């Protein structure tokens, strides 16, 4: 199955400006045909290349400019997992949307794909079940990722504006670290934790936008890369130094103080961002409980979740750090915080690790 030019369009004959350019990589001719018809019926989407193997796709990417790649994982030869990081490197800014039955069969495959750099995943439905809702969801994801890819050279958050002004961070030693992320966040978390020392001496809270069924896999992955215990948040769990607590996928992770003990509280109230779990309640609770001793980090992610909570931390005297645009898969969340003037540093994850060590004292005292 070699290169296939785009099929004859059955949709609008004329494309709009700023068309999102797509590549489909799937060994199933049925899937390729269905994706082609979905894409070509949208005026703002254009299918520019189709491949039946990862090897063929990598060859095409050297000469074809694309914004979004739809990638299957189960293919003959190289396969999607092996090809994914190479595609990201060659495509230079393209976003990869993994569409595979493997993501339906288990959380492990989804988290692995995200850790390798996929911007988003969604399950491939069984043959013959590409219904209207599925098609609408697929197109929505493509559009979101396509806009991100096209913003790479000139992000709308910064277009026509001066660089974000950095704030002076708190002069108080942090007693808690809270990290939030969404799209592109898993590889950023891996890079950050890989550079942190074995001992920080403070509890670490993590909110990553993922469904609840994926969180146990994420916990195991963070344990492996960080060398620390990683637990899923449960009501009443007491925070402990150098222990990672991860927000469950169906509740916000917040903290309360009870008689000198710092305990997890699960919050399921809706938030303006619509995210669950959300960074905003997590940050807000730290601002209330720890005040100027709060340290928050916002990594790659789509949207604005975390901006309101970051403002709470800053107003309480704490510090907010964000991932820089060049190292992000999506600079939505950290970009929103930065352009709001709430960040004390804008850096790649490896450099943020150094700022975290400085902010906590490396082995900050918990008691």
pLDDT at position 358, please? 95
pTM check: above 0.75: yes
Q: Which residues lie closer than 8 Å to 9 by C-beta, 6 or more apart?
A: 40, 41
pLDDT in tens, 278-328: 999 999 999 999 999 999 999 999 899 999 999 999 999 999 999 999 898
Cα 358-184-78 angle, rounded to 5 deg: 125
pLDDT at position 209, please? 95
Q: Catalytic residue among 109, 209, 252, 293, which?
A: 209
Pairwise CA distance, residues 57 & 94, whole Å: 13
pLDDT at position 161, please? 61
Cα dihedral 229, 232, 238, 241 in deg (nearest 10): 30
Judged by DSSP in three states, 8 sits in: coil
Q: Does the structural domain 176-360 have CATH classification 3.40.50.180?
A: yes
Residue 252 designated active-site: no
pLDDT at position 362, please? 66
Q: What is the DSSP letter of 146?
A: H
Residue 182 designated active-site: yes
Q: Catalytic residue among 305, 312, 324, 327, which?
A: 305
Domain ranges in the chain are 20-150, 176-360
Q: Catalytic residue among 182, 278, 285, 344, which?
A: 182
Fold agreement between 20-150 and 176-360:
yes
CATH of 20-150, one of 3.30.70.890, 3.40.50.2300, 2.60.40.10, 3.30.465.10: 3.40.50.2300
Question: In the chain, which residues have pLDDT < 50?
Answer: 1-13, 152-156, 364-365, 367
Residue 280 designated active-site: no
Pairwise CA distance, residues 244 & 120, whole Å: 24
């Amino acid at each position: 199955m070699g290169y296939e030019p785009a099929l004859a369009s059955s949709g609008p004959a004329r494309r709009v400006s700023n068309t999102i350019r797509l590549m489909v990589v799937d060994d199933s001719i049925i899937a390729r045909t269905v994706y082609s018809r979905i894409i070509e019926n949208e005026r703002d989407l254009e299918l520019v290349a189709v491949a039946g193997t990862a090897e063929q796709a990598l060859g095409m990417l050297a000469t074809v400019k694309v914004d979004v790649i739809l990638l299957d994982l189960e293919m003959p030869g190289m396969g999607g997992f092996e090809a994914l990081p190479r595609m990201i490197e060659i495509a230079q800014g393209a976003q990869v949307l993994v569409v595979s039955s493997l993501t339906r069969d288990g959380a492990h495959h989804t988290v692995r794909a995200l850790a390798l750099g996929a911007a988003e995943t969604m399950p491939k439905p069984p043959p013959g079940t590409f219904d209207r809702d599925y098609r609408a969801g697929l197109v929505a994801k493509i559009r979101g990722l396509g806009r991100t890819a096209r913003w790479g050279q000139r992000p709308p958050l910064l277009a026509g504006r001066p660089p974000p002004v950095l704030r002076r961070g708190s002069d108080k030693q942090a007693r808690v670290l809270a990290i939030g992320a969404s799209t592109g966040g898993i590889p950023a978390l891996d890079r950050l934790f890989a550079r942190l020392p074995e001992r920080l001496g403070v509890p670490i809270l993590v909110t990553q936008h993922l469904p609840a069924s994926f969180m146990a896999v994420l916990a195991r992955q963070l344990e492996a890369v960080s060398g620390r215990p990683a637990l899923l948040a449960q009501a009443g769990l007491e925070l402990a130094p150098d222990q990672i607590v991860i927000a469950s996928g169906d509740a916000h992770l917040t903290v309360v103080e009870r008689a000198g003990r710092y305990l997890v509280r699960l919050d399921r109230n809706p938030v303006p961002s619509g995210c669950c779990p959300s960074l905003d309640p997590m940050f807000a609770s730290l601002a209330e409980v720890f005040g100027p001793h709060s340290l928050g980090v916002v990594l790659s992610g789509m949207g604005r979740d975390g901006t309101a909570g970051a403002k709470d931390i800053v107003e309480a005297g704490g510090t907010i750090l964000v991932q820089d645009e060049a190292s992000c898969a999506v600079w939505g969340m950290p970009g929103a915080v930065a352009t709001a003037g709430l960040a004390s540093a804008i850096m790649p994850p490896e450099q943020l690790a150094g700022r975290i060590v400085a902010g906590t004292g490396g082995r900050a005292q918990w008691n």
